[in-house]
Amino acid sequence: MSGRPVKHSLTLRGHRTSVSLEMAFWQAFREIAEAEGKTLNALAAQIDGSREADVGLASAIRVFILRRLSGG
């Protein structure tokens, strides 16, 4: 498995954006979204809405995943 980020497009509240995450993060992100009964776009929008202005979306998604997997 490559450690290089892979870019995917997401739609957040009607606007397209690209997010680059490593494949392990994309897989975990998909699993969390599925477990919550949400689409990736919906979960990304939720994360986007709660992140601080100086934190990038990809970073916020990674931290969200790490916290979720660690039970935090």
Q: At 51, which CATH number? A: 1.10.3990.20
Residue 33's domain comprises 5-69
Amino acid at 68: R
Dist. CA 10–CA 42, nearest whole Å: 9
Dist. CA 66–CA 60, nearest whole Å: 10
| 43: nearest Cα among 53, 54, 58, 29 | 29
Q: How many domains does the chain have?
A: 1
Q: If you average pLDDT over residues 6-11, what whole number do you get?
A: 96
Query: Could you tell me the pTM of the whole model?
Result: 0.91
How buried is residue 4: exposed, middle or buried, by Cβ count under 10 Å (0-12/13-18/19+)?
exposed
Q: If you average pLDDT over residues 5-13, what whole number do you get?
A: 94
Residues 14-59 pLDDT 10s: 999 999 999 999 999 999 999 999 999 999 999 999 999 999 999 9
